[in-house]
Amino acid sequence: MSVKRFARKCLWRVGLDVRRFDPRSSEAAQLVRQLFVHRIGVVFDVGANTGQFAQQLRDAGFVGRIVSFEPSTAAHATLSQRSQNDADWSVAPRMALGDHDGTVTLNLAGNSASSSILPMLPLHARAAPESRYVGSETVDLHTLDSVSPQLVTDSERIFLKLDVQGFESKVLQGAEQFLRRVSGMQIELSLVPLYDGECLFHPMLRCLEERGYDLWSVVPGFVDPGTGRLLQLDAVLFRREPALSAL
């Protein structure tokens, strides 16, 4: 066995892996290239958690504005601190986004990132026990249609990233006017039911295609470690534009 393979197997035993990084083929770099091609000026990061997605965009070279939304008190505090040194990264007041204005109960997951307004189904909890709900809190609920006019100018081209743990369809229902200005989106979708009431991958994809969006890429996400089955993925879509149809 080569030294390289031996070292890699040792790292595997402690849950680590080392691979050659190619900035041209990384998922974040590919997305930033797509944002450049579509002349995106602002990214709405909905379900930002502690800012992982925004930071990946910055590390991959995105220089436009980022507006982040996060409902969890603890995650919002970390997100706000993380964005402080970036003048073009703003964090909206703590809120959830959905299909109406009001208040809602947010179920808090043990791993933070899996927190959701929707009930978690047994398959999700079995595949990721650390994601089980450990508490809840009440949070203000707003629509993108009601909050976005104060956050974006008429001339900016918008990219919407949605990672709200099964609540994506409700956010889109509250964004009828906003979506008319959205040039592209990255949306997390389940292939099997993980949250009670969520819209799954295939019907959501059909809905977005009917709205004029084409699928540009897919990013694998949550995998059941026991079976190896892919449970969630991120779909990246952009609105059809004649000038880009040949790209």
Alpha carbon distance 3, 24 (integer Å): 28
Answer whether residue 211 is part of any domain: yes
Answer whether residue 20 is part of any domain: no
3 state DSSP class of 221: coil
Per-residue pLDDT of the chain (247 residues; tens, 9 = 90+): 565 565 455 545 555 555 554 555 689 999 999 999 999 999 999 999 999 999 999 999 999 999 999 999 999 999 999 999 999 999 999 999 999 999 999 999 999 999 999 999 999 999 999 999 999 999 999 999 999 999 999 899 999 999 999 999 999 999 999 999 999 999 999 999 999 999 999 999 999 999 999 999 999 999 999 999 999 999 999 999 865 554 5
Alpha carbon distance 118, 197 (integer Å): 7
Answer whether residue 142 is part of any domain: yes
- Residue numbers of the domain that contains 118: 26-244
CATH number of the domain that 32 lies in? Answer: 3.40.50.150
Answer whether residue 76 is part of any domain: yes
What pTM did the predictor assign? 0.89
Answer whether residue 13 is part of any domain: no
Answer whether residue 167 is part of any domain: yes
The pLDDT value recorded for residue 241 is 81
Answer whether residue 9 is part of any domain: no
Q: How many domains does the chain have?
A: 1
Answer whether residue 148 is part of any domain: yes
